[in-house]
């Protein structure tokens, strides 16, 4: 399956005119740089479904044009204007739509507790409606307010979580 995952991701990147910067040692979190030309993503090598979904998710940001206002492209900040929670949900929905097999429970836990849920808990909830900045991935240049979780966000969370109930980060919707 790894070969099919890798082939699909390579083709999607080609279709999006996006460079894949694969971090063999993968010491950082995955990240997208949509505002650059050509856009590129920093992703782990595909070794399992979690790394595959991570690659798809980052390419989903490219697909949706989620620019993040990094210099010298300070005016390109659609990711924030669109809403951070909405942008993250869109990229995860794109990954779920394109995933070529059944989502494993370990992948569901990763997608929510380590990824989308972290934006919800450590971003939206922790910011308590006050202006914030995202520090990783050189994204601190844009001050923004988190968007509120809406019906769309909840639908992506529900799809992502499936029937599991053992999440570390609780979401009531």
Pairwise pLDDT comparison (29 vs 28), residue with the higher score: 29
Longest CA–CA span in the chain (Å) reads 45
The per-residue pLDDT for range 142-173, each reduced to its tens digit, is 999 999 999 999 999 999 999 988 899 999 88
The per-residue pLDDT for range 103-126, each reduced to its tens digit, is 999 999 999 999 999 999 999 999
The per-residue pLDDT for range 58-100, each reduced to its tens digit, is 999 999 999 999 999 999 999 999 999 999 999 999 999 999 9
pLDDT-based confidence at residue 28 (cuts at 50, 70, 90): low
Residue ranges per structural domain of the chain:
2-161
Listed in sequence order, the residues at least 6 apart from 11 whose beta carbon sits closer than 8 Å to its beta carbon are none
Q: Quote the pTM value.
A: 0.94
Listed in sequence order, the residues at least 6 apart from 40 whose beta carbon sits closer than 8 Å to its beta carbon are 18, 19, 20, 21, 32, 33
Neighbours of 100 (CB within 10 A): 11
């Amino acid at each position: 399956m790894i070969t099919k995952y890798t082939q699909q991701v390579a083709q999607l990147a080609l279709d999006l005119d996006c460079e894949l910067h694969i971090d063999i040692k993968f010491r950082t979190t995955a990240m997208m740089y949509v505002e650059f030309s050509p856009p590129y993503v920093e992703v782990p090598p595909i070794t399992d479904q979690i790394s595959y979904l991570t690659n798809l998710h980052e390419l989903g940001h490219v697909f949706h044009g989620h620019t993040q206002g990094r210099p010298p492209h300070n005016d390109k900040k659609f990711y924030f204007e669109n809403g951070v929670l909405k942008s993250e949900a869109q990229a995860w929905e794109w990954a779920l739509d394109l995933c070529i097999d059944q989502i494993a429970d370990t992948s569901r836990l990763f997608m929510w507790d380590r990824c989308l849920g972290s934006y919800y808990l450590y971003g939206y909830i922790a910011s308590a409606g006050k202006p914030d900045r995202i520090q990783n991935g050189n994204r601190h240049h844009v001050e923004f307010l988190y968007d509120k979780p809406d019906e769309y966000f909840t639908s992506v969370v529900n799809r992502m979580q499936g029937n599991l109930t053992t999440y570390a980060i609780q979401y009531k919707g």
